[in-house]
Amino acid sequence: MQRFQGKVALITAAAQGIGAAVARRLAAEGAAVVVTDLQEDKLAEVAGEIGEQALPVRVDVTSDDDVRAAVAAAVERYGRLDVVVNNAGGCIVRSAPEDATPEEFHAQLDLTLVGASRCIQAALPQLVEHRGNVVTISSVNGIAAFGNVEYSAAKAGQIAMSVNYAARYGPLGVRFNVVAPGTIRTPNWDGRQDTLDRFATQYPLRRIGEPEDIAAAVAFLASDDASWITGHTLPVEGGILTGPGLFDLTPSGAYKKEYKQQS
């Protein structure tokens, strides 16, 4: 299939994991891909693997200038921009929610939620001109309680933001959708195979997701096959949201605190 022939896609955090898999999938279906990340060496490897269809650009999504420059580079090289895949993010607050500082919370929001907003704002003129679309990579954390409060709040914010953009820009032909992954085997889990094996038992399908699982969902939502779908979140999560396998979130270990009952 060449669903993206003549199209141009910009993917954030594309040096590895989900972002790299999305870039490979869209390129395999004909797209020119602008791959962005802070990890320039790994980004160059991904772009080299894809070939002439790929343009690597160093981007920090917390920088307005970087994001605008990436969109400008896409238009300068290819003459247009049709698809934005907001993949940049990550859990950067590791303390218990009652211990997180306002600065940590703001940093999490700036990377994950405001970063996605920056990309949308910078790309909007092109998306309107070419009736393009945005696919944002959120998380099941934005839908149900899996811990990591600040990360989860930012991911839920991505969903709410996308719904509102979909309503606002639908009349102009621009679509906004979300993919919500469960646990995916990415380099963030390197050295923790035992944890992944334990998590897999909590999923009805009894396996951890692969980056290619998410790339397939993104390719569908970004393509004309989904031309009448906007404002929706597609969970790609091995069935974890069915409920019985939800992780135990009871405070314990390093997160356990003793609270005196107030009389």
Catalytic residues: 151
Task: Specify whether the CB–CB gap between 139 and 184 falls below 8 A.
Answer: no
Q: Is 192 exposed, middle or buried (0-12, 13-18, 19+ CB in 10 A)?
A: exposed
CB atoms closer than 10 angstroms to residue 234 = 19
CA-CA distance, 38 to 53, in Å (whole number)?
20
Q: Determine the Cα angle at 127 with ends 124 and 128, to 5°.
A: 85
CA distances for 87 relative to 84, 117, 218, angstroms: 9, 12, 11
**Residue 20 CA to chain centroid, in angstroms?**
12
Q: Determine the Cα angle at 109 with ends 153 and 55, to 5°.
A: 120
CA-CA distance, 141 to 89, in Å (whole number)?
13
The contacts of residue 258 (CB under 8 Å, 6+ apart) are: none
DSSP string, 195-231: HHHHHHTTSTT-S-B-HHHHHHHHHHHHSGGGTT--S
